[in-house]
Structure 1
């Protein structure tokens, strides 16, 4: 049996704000709702939560937390049609940069036959991270 080559979506943004502000937007439930979607997020390792939209929901679980530096969680979309089912992992990494913070988001786990999900994630994450940057600009 051959292993399936999984694809990933990576988006990087150099945001002119300190990592602490970005971390707050990535890990605070009401702020996440403003830039991404409704959720019942919690930062504890192993915490299970959902992101909810008009189209349904995504099941998630916190896998790794390095406060102020990185955050990883599962991003699983259950669907009756296997072509739409997605079992993936999202990781945010924050690195101080000369102008603020380099934010890197990587979502790993797209099968080659998931062209629609992959394309949606590529364009969607760019928009979401743009919204995150706008939100962070308005935080105290």
Structure 2
């Protein structure tokens, strides 16, 4: 059986509150990933403007404030789940990304899995640019 989940881990020299803010504040999220009206509230429906890949419908599935957020991504097309989990460590924060539920038996699902598997590392590296701003009160 093939694993249909992308898993990545990044360490940041910033407190969890700053990383959480970068993940869940619309203007900061737009600076490193995609414009959208995300809110860390279960049941919140929002869109992400993925540029050439179009506007993606999303819904927050679960939230543990400051620790994790999970949302349905590309509802009606990919129907995958993105989960970000923060782990406080002595010198900052470890961010765990899990992007799950790709339908690898479909051409679109396999293409999205391959593209996002190679794309997520670059996307996550752009968080560094906003964490300094996110760390401000």
Measured against the shorter chain, the TM-score band is 0.7 to 0.9
| Alpha-carbon contact 2:41-2:62 (below 8 Å) kept | no
TM norm structure 1:
0.85
Partner residue of 2:19?
22
The equivalent position to 1:86 in structure 2, one of 73, 78, 81, is 78
Q: Distance in 2 between matches of 1:10 and 1:43?
A: 21
Question: What does the per-residue CA deviation read over 1:61-87, in whole Å, with 9 as the maximum and x for residues that have no partner?
Answer: 011111110000000254xxxxxx311
TM-align CA RMSD: 1.7
Query: SS at the partner of 1:25?
Result: helix
Gaps of 5+ in 1: 79-84
2:32 to 32, 35, 42: 35
Cα shift at 1:54: 2.5
Instruction: Give secondary structure in 2 for the equivalent of 1:46.
Output: coil
Number of matched residues?
Answer: 131
**Structure 1 residue aligned with 2:68:** 70
Query: Equivalent residue for 1:131?
Result: 126
Query: Are 2:7 and 2:96, in contact at CA under 8 Å, matched by a contact in 1?
Result: yes
TM-score of the aligned structures, taking structure 2 as reference length: 0.87
Larger strand percent: 1
Q: CA deviation at 1:138?
A: 4.1
- In terms of fraction of residues, the more helix-rich structure is 2
